[in-house]
Amino acid sequence: MRPLKLTLRGINSYRKEQTIDFETLTSAGLFGIFGPTGSGKSSILDAITLALYARLPRSTKNFITINEETAAVSFLFSITTTETHIYRVERAFRYHKGNAGSTVRNTGASLADMTEDQPRILADRPTEVTQECIRLLGLNSDDFMRTVVLPQGQFSEFLKLKNAERRSMLQRIFHLEQYGMDLTQKISSARQKQELLLSNLDGQVQMFENISRETLQELKEKYAALIKSMKKTTEKKEEAARAFQEADAVRSLLIEYEPVRKKYEEALQKMPAMDEKEQRLNLGKRAAQVRPFAAQAEKSKQDAEDAQRTLSQVQRELQTLLSSCRQLQEEKEAAAEAYALHLPTLLQQEQNFLHAIEQSQSIHTWMNRQKETEEQLLDMQKKLSVLHQKEDEFRREENRLQETILSKEQKAAKIKPSREELHSLEQGHILEESYREKRGLYEEARQETQELRRLLEAEQSELSCLTGQLTSIHDTARRYLTIQQEQLAELSVQLAALTKAKVSVQKDTEELQNRHMALTLRSRLKDGDICPVCGGIHHKDHGMHPDKVIAESSPDTAELSDDASVLLQIQHLQSNAEELTRQEKELEDSRRKTEEQIASASRNLETIHHLLPELSAAFDTDNSASPSGTDDRSAVDSAEIPAAGNFDADTLRLELQNLSTQFLACRERFMQRKEQYDRLLKQNREQYSRLQQSGQEILALRKQWNTENFTETLEAKQAAEKNYDSLQEELHFLRQQMESSRKDREALTAESQALSGQITAARNNITHFRTLIGEAEQKLPGGYSSQTDFSVLLEETKTQRELLERKKDTLEKKYQENAQALQSKREEASAAENQWKLCRKNQKEAEATLRKQLTLAGFSPDAVLEDIYLSEETLTSMETEISKFRETFAKTKERLAYLEEKKQNQNISEEEWKKRKNDMEQASLLLEQQQKEEAVLSNETADCEQKLRQKNKLLQQQKEALHRRGLIRQLEQLFKGNSFIEYVAESRLRYIAAEASVILSSISNGNYELEINENTEFIIRDNKNGGSLRPCDTLSGGETFITSLSLALALSSVIQLNGTAPLELFFLDEGFGNLDDDLLDVVMTSLERLQNTRRSIGIITHVEAIQSRVPVKLIVIPSDDSQNGSHIQMEYS
């Protein structure tokens, strides 16, 4: 990410809008941001962070400039991966509900891709813009600040940290928790899930306990036997069905024959009635042929009668019209004479009235104009009076405004505040706000520390409880181990004594057997026999009588003197030897079990000693005590420990495993929380010290300016300033009102003068109108005045003339219409007479034709056919009925002949037919039952095959789950403790050291390199002194600076690996004021070597000595008395 342009307004000390051209600023690779303390140098970085993430690195809530309610920032930057894209992000901020004491809200935001000519909006909501910026850069706000800015006070922190602190820092920066407790919890969760999976699989496998290949094979054999039985049943069913079909055919034939025979006999009975109906049908058909001619004759007769009646009616109407026509002619001639007599007089009256209407209209027009002029005169007189009153009011208002302006000018001069005082109070207010913010952060951190202390105490309590439980188990295991060792010693002694007794018994048995054999052999020898042992022929007893031998071998057998007693004694000794062997084996088994329990107890003690080393030292001390003391303690402890046969070592081992896991997890949490608590406690103390220092500064400033609260005093002064500005605005408004009042008064004066002239002109016009009205009234007809309505008289005259004209025209028109009607009626009478004659002729012709047709149809010429007429529907119905009967009779007769021919001698009883039907139904029921059994058995077989496959699949899953559980248990053992996270942290540390070594070598011209020793500590290879290794604490100030800078840059590069876009900017916000001139020269030389086109380095400082070494400078000038806020300017060296 390369910054191009930043525009900000209303943020911290930047009240007015300021624009920073980063393209020019970073053109030389190295640039600086300079300005006094508190001028707003770091606010530039805050503005970039606000634009990208809408939050500040210090979690400041109220960053809007004092006396402003809104703030805005616009940031233009580019990202180059495979290609370069330019983006612009804009945000707007304001106080919630306009209250400066409330939280600042991000009210608007947008992110656009400006690469093309037309911008493309990527997001337009605050949250979406933040998420899109994180996606583009690949870093959140914390990672961005750690990557772009090296904050004040942390420049050499990473180099000086110890191993545990450095590992904790790496774990925090690179989020290595995923390799520690997070990974252990994931493995534990995976183990629990696997155990649950195995439990579920075991339950599912038990559901298929009765499913096996043998069960499936048995079902298949049953299915095959059933299929074979079904085949035989199907054959029986088909045979029974054929027999039933044959019987059913004969039975159906017999059932059909009887109804057909009855139907044929019924048809024979209906035959005479059908013949009679057929004769009537024929008669009706002949009558129907003559019927049209009869109808025509009747119609001709009716037409002749109608024509005669019409002729009589027309002749009567003709006589009436002749009488009316004579009367109308007489009335027409009388109306024409009256019209010619009165028409000249009426026309002369119309001309006179038209002239009078014109004169009357002129008179009324002049009278109306006179009246309007008089009304206008009254209005103008009233307006003139009102204008004079308003002029007086405006003069009084001008006097009142003049007095008010003088009063407010005096008041404003008294309350005008000093710019220098406002600036000083504003600086004090900033310090107080900073103090409150620091105090709030301190209180939050203190509460966090207290909460962490509470958690730490809870962890310590839990750790103490677990330690007590482990100590109890340790004591139990120790006592148990001591008892087992004593039991082992006793068993060893018993086993040794038993072995010795067994050897003695075996030896005595062998001696008895040998002596018994010798005595037996001697007792069988006779004098002169050669001894098979010694070869002698003289046998002396040598004083060795068998009784003496027995007495010497065993005191208990001294009373035995014969061979049977000796043999009994030998058997007794052999039985003792077998019993001793059995006891020896039992003791050996007991000793082996005791040794195993001792080994298990020893392993448990080793585990506890590993967890609690102090118990190991105490145990060694106890073991070095005197034997007598051990015997006494064993005697006491044996009373507290159950017998060996009742002691459950497995339970102890499982309990120890659970406690060990809990103890390790709890101890790790305790160490982490303690480390975090110590760090927070140290930070709180530092914050409190800085807070106290700020408080002292504020108290000194309050004393200097004689105030108790800068904020309240500033608010009061600002309120006074606002009152002054308000008064100035009111004065400006009053002056404008006064000027406006003067102009309005002058306009009223001019309007009054113009209105006076208009009044004089109106009076002259009224006099002229009166003269014209008098002259026009003298020209009206005699006997009428101007008030007469001449238009009504004119209309009455016109009406009389029009009535005469309409009466004459109406009578003329009626006479003409009557004459035309008379002529039409005469023609109508002639036509009616001709029509009557024609109808008479047609009547005679139709009657002659009818008589001829009756003769041809077989009727007499005078016959009446009304009784034998049949309608068309009746004829059709009768013909259809007769035809259908004839057809049905023929079919019935034919079917009866067919059935009689087919029936012949075939016959079957009802019992035989039912028997064959029953046989077929029984076969069908049996086959249906077997089919159901086949379906059930088929489903059982398929279900068995499916369950067998499921069982095999579950067994395979169970096998895989067992294997996976074994792997998870191995991982649990592997990731116990912090060994793995230490390994990951060390690998990251070595990578950072290698990256930093390259940077350090480049900065120092190859004089120094950075390495990691076997204790994972930073060491310096000094190539100026033959490559000798030096600890970091032997470095000088300048060497420490360039080493820390190399580490910081390397750390920034590694953090960037988490992102998606390379960051081409790095800021050093460090206090260079503590460096002497030589060290400052080393620092600047190192920074100049680091600059390149890939990454620009910015220095934020107030040290003026550095400005001459920086090619491009951004000077931040703090706010002055104008209260326009800080502003910036760019300079070149």
- When pLDDT is averaged across residues 742-767 and rounded to a whole number, the result is 84
User: What confidence score (pLDDT) does residue 1032 get?
Assistant: 83
pLDDT of 257: 74
Q: What is the arithmetic mean of pLDDT over 770-796?
A: 75
User: DSSP state, 75?
Assistant: E
More confident residue, 1046 or 146: 1046
- The whole-number average pLDDT for the span 463-491 is 80
Q: Is the pLDDT of residue 7 over 70?
A: yes
User: Model-level pTM?
Assistant: 0.37
> In whole numbers, what is the pLDDT of the chain averaged over residues?
78
| Residue 520: predicted pLDDT | 66
Residue 846: pLDDT band (50, 70, 90) is: confident
Q: How large is the average pLDDT for residues 875-896?
A: 84
User: What is the C-alpha end-to-end distance of the chain, expressed in Å?
Assistant: 27
pLDDT value, residue 618: 52
Exposure string for 428-444, b = 16+ CB within 10 A, e = fewer: bbbbbeeeeebeeebee
> Cα separations (Å) of 1038 from 868, 1020, 1110?
149, 14, 19
If you average pLDDT over residues 627-648, what whole number do you get?
42
Mean pLDDT, residues 765-779? 78
Neighbours of 598 (CB within 10 A): 18
Is residue 885 pLDDT above 60, yes or no? yes
pLDDT higher at 861 or 1030: 1030
Under DSSP, the state recorded for 1009 is E
Residue-wise pLDDT tens digits, 502-550 = 778 777 777 776 776 666 666 666 666 556 556 555 555 544 444 444 4
Looking at residue 128, its pLDDT comes to 92
* 416 or 693, which is more confident: 693
For the segment 402-408, the average pLDDT, to the nearest whole number, is 84
Q: Three-state DSSP class for 99?
A: coil
615 confidence band (pLDDT: 50, 70, 90): low
Please give the class, per CATH, of domain 1-138+1064-1133.
Answer: alpha beta
Q: How far apart are CA 47 and CA 91, in angstroms?
A: 10
Question: Would you call 105 exposed, middle or buried from its count of C-beta atoms within 10 A (0-12, 13-18, 19+)?
Answer: middle
d(CA 1000, CA 994): 10
Measure the CA–CA gap between 602 and 608, rounded to whole angstroms: 10
Q: What are 50-93's pLDDT values in tens digits?
A: 999 888 765 566 788 877 888 999 999 998 877 889 999 999 99
Q: What is the pLDDT of residue 172?
A: 62
Question: What percent of the chain lies above the pLDDT cut of 90?
Answer: 5
- Residues 583-607, mean pLDDT to the nearest whole number: 73
User: How many whole angstroms separate alpha carbon 921 and alpha carbon 925?
Assistant: 6
Model confidence at 111: pLDDT above 90: yes
pLDDT tens digits, one per residue of 336-390: 777 778 778 777 777 777 887 787 888 888 888 888 888 888 888 888 888 888 8
Q: Using the predicted structure, report yes or no on whether residue 988 has a pLDDT greater than 80.
A: yes
Q: Would you say residue 869 has pLDDT above 70?
A: no
Under the banding of pLDDT at 50, 70 and 90, the label for residue 1057 is low
**How far apart are alpha carbons 124 and 110 in whole angstroms?**
4
Amino acid at 738: M
Most confident of 83-87, 818-822, 998-1002: 83-87
Tokens 């509460």 belong to residue = 447
Whether 756 shows a pLDDT value over 50: the answer reads yes
* Residue 315 confidence (pLDDT): 80
Q: How far is CA 303 from the centre of its chain?
A: 96
Residue 189 CB coordination number (10 Å): 11
* Residues contacting 679, CB < 8 A, separation 6+: none
SS3 of 1069-1107? CCCHHHCCHHHHHHHHHHHHHHCCCCCEEEEEECCHHHH
DSSP notation for 795-813: HHHHHHHHHHHHHHHHHHH
Token pair 């308003």 in the structure block, residue: 390
Helix H or strand E segment including 2: strand 2-9
Q: State the pLDDT at residue 5.
A: 94
Bridge partners (DSSP) listed for residue 283:
none
What CA–CA distance (Å, rounded) separates 164 from 676? 12
Q: What is the pLDDT of residue 543?
A: 43
Q: How far apart are the C-alpha atoms of 1041 and 157, rounded to whole Å?
A: 11
- Please tell me which residue, 267 or 1010, carries the higher pLDDT value: 1010
Asked if residue 635 has pLDDT above 50, the reply is no
pLDDT recorded at residue 89: 96
Could you please report the per-residue DSSP string of 849-910?
Answer: HHHHHHHHTTS-TT---TTT---HHHHHHHHHHHHHHHHHHHHHHHHHHHHHHHHTT----H
pLDDT at position 278: 80
Residue 562 reports pLDDT greater than 60: no
Taking alpha carbons only, the member of 1045, 1101, 1110 closest to residue 150 is: 1045
Query: In the predicted model, is pLDDT for residue 3 greater than 80?
Result: yes
- Among the ranges given (234-243, 462-471, 603-612), the one the predictor scored with the smallest mean pLDDT: 603-612
In this prediction, what percent of the chain has a pLDDT beyond 70? 81
Categorize the per-residue pLDDT at 18 as very low, low, confident or very high, splitting at 50, 70 and 90.
very high
- pLDDT (0 to 100) of residue 169: 66
